[in-house]
Structures are given as structure tokens and as C-alpha cells.
Amino acid sequence: MVAIRVDGLTRTFGETTAVDDLSFTVADGELFGLLGPNGAGKSTLINVLVTLLRPTAGTATVDGHDVRADTAAVRNSIGVVFQEPALDEELTGAENLAFHARLYGMGRERRDARIGEVLELVGLEDERDRAVGTYSGGMKRRLEIGRGLLHDPAVLFLDEPTVGLDAQTRRDTWEYIRRLNREGVSIVLTTHYIEEAEQLCDRVAIVDDGEIAAIDTPTALTDSLGGDVVRLELGGRADSLGDRLETRTWVREYATAGNVLEVTVERGDARVADLVRLADDAGASIATVDVRRPTLETVFLSLTGATIEDGRRRASDEASALEPPNGRDGAARSVRASGEDR
């Protein structure tokens, strides 16, 4: 069964195309990742799928409901945790959840039962009556994830769920996400953290400049590069070795960035000596040599010609063109289902 289906989806802001003709599916029960730098179009795509933005062109369904025609049904089927915090810090944890439950029209009996279940799930049952303003950053994030699950959604959207968290809290949050997925929740997660995508996701879509450059399992994406990566930091510009590398049949591909050269070869350890000789012939000194298996960062560089950090810097220069006057793609932060409060 398909949890999400996207066909030819496009979203523009004036002359700027933030999401460009995307097509993909997310299977029921899958943990699907959107990996790319800030400004790549990930959050815009999420906002279209959760009905906060209308697509300019194309179609999308979530849990079988069309994001244009069946917005109320889509909102009843999803949970959303946005990148920016959206908790009332003067209310307690339980009161924040109760307020959210009322927005979804949950009656008192079900509301009280679910609040207890969710607080236990995210490990905050002992903190339910504390003001959220006294919570740590990790506790707040867990409460937001719990709030997104309160109404038993079929699909949970997590937009950069661990931004701003320390390393240990990030890993704890990963474990909560894994647990939710094991219990059958379909999850779509956006991230610019390479390790997060590699550790959590069943499949990853690499997103750059509003387009999907590749989509597959993390293992298949890294295997697609066909070998190990030998990284050399040189005393001069790395592109001086380009002509010599072009003539070597054992070089699968290479990329340069300033004084750094990355070469994809089979059996990287066995080719270090050859690369050192080539550098000597070119008159380039070598500061460091590192051999490693490809990562999603390597895949991203291979597909886009830039690292995720390069993409982030580029996007920050263009952010003003993508950000409408009232921010966050002009969308509200909370998704409210149809139905009266009770």
C-alpha cells in the first residue's frame, strides 16, 4: 500500500521554483528521508503535503487523500512536527497535548487516555505537570513528536526533527523515531544531517535546488559510486591532477574542491601508492590521505557537484527570494482538522 504518492509536483514563488516537478512514492510503514541542505525545497515540499501550501502544478495524495481536494481528510491522517518550535511554554506538557487534542475534536475520555499513552511513549509521564518552559531542548522535541502522534496519524512528518539538539539528545530522539516506525507509523523525515539519514531511513531522496537527484536505500546509493573513496588534501589546488586522472582506467570518478581531491576506485588501500605517485609527477605535495567507504555526503557531492554545506551557504544567499513576508512559506505552524472543539 502507498502512504504518499507524488506526481509532477511543482511549487513556485513568483519567478522562483522551490519544488520542481517531483515524482515519488512512500510505502505504508516506510521511514522515508528527504536529504539536502537548508533551502533545497524540503520544507516547501512538506508544507504542500500537509496542505499548508497548494501546489502550483502536479498532484499528491497522502493516505489516499488528495492534498488539493481532500484537505480535511489529509489533516486527519497526518501528524506534523515542524522545524521551528511551536509549544506554549507557559502551559504544562499535558496541557499542550490537551489543547492540540481539542483542535482535532477529540472527546474528553479519548483525549485523557491518549495524553497518558503519548507521554509514556516519549518518556515524559513524570513531567506532565511541569511547565514546558522548564523542559530541556530534548524534552521539548519529544513532546512535539508526541503531540504529532496524539490522534493516531497514518503518516508522521518530521521536518528537521533534531536541529539544535546536542549529540546525545539527537541519538535519543533517533531511538524514539525508530520505535514509532517499528510500531507501524509511516514517517517522512527531512534532514541535512548525513548520519541521520544513513541511520534512520529505509530510503532516501537526495534533494537539491528543488529537484530529486536520486532516490534509493542508503546502501544502494553509496554502492552506486562503485568503490572506495580516497581523499587527498594537497599543498596546492587539486584540479592540477585532473588530466592525469582522466587517463587512468582504474579511476571510476573524481571530484575536486579547492585543495581537496576525492577519487573513487576499487580497493582504495591498494591505490594510495598510485595516487601519491601521480601527485608527485604533478608537483603537488600531499598533506593528508584518507581512505573510506562512500557516504551519502559523497553521493551528494557526486550528484550535485557540491557538498551539503556548500548548498546551505548557497541557499542562504537566495533565502529572501523564497521567504514570503509572513515567513515559513506563508503558512501557519499548526495543522487543524475539521470538526468542532469539545
Phi, psi of 209 (to 5 degrees): 55, 40
- Chain region(s) in the chain for CATH 3.30.70.2470: 226-293
Q: Pick the residue with more confidence: 200 or 342?
A: 200
Look at the block and give the residue holding cell 571510476: 252
pLDDT of residue 318: 54
Give the C-alpha separation, 176 to 172, whole Å.
7
Contact 325/270 with Cβ under 8 angstroms?
no
Does residue 120 register a pLDDT over 50? Answer: yes
Give the C-alpha separation, 40 to 11, whole Å.
12
Percent of residues, the chain, with pLDDT higher than 70: 91
- Per-residue pLDDT of 4-50, as tens digits, reads 999 999 999 999 999 999 999 999 999 999 999 888 999 999 999 99
Three cell numbers, residue 71? 484537505
224: closest CA among 215, 233, 232? 215
Contact 92/128 with Cβ under 8 angstroms?
yes
- Work out the angle between the directed axes of helices 93-103 and 108-121 (0-180°, nearest 10): 130
* Sheet of 31-35, strand order: 78-81, 155-159, 186-191, 31-35, 203-208, 211-216
Compute how many other C-beta atoms are within 10 angstroms of the C-beta atom of residue 339: 13
Q: Please give the single-letter amino acid code of residue 107.
A: G
Q: Pick the residue with more confidence: 168 or 143?
A: 143
Give the C-alpha separation, 239 to 108, whole Å.
67
Three cell numbers, residue 274? 598510485
pTM of the model: 0.76
Segments of 222-319 assigned E as strands:
228-234, 251-257, 260-265, 286-292
Give the C-alpha separation, 312 to 14, whole Å.
22
**Average pLDDT of the residues of the chain:** 87
Topology, domain 226-293: Alpha-Beta Plaits (3.30.70)
**Residue 285 exposure: Cα atoms within 13 Å on the Cβ side:** 3
pLDDT of residue 328: 44
CATH of domain 2-220: 3.40.50.300
For every residue of 147-176, DSSP letters joined together read: HHHTT--SEEEEESTTTT--HHHHHHHHHH
Residues 163-179 have a mean pLDDT of 87
Radius of gyration of the chain (CA): 23
- Per-residue pLDDT of 80-113, as tens digits, reads 998 888 899 999 999 999 999 998 889 999 999 9
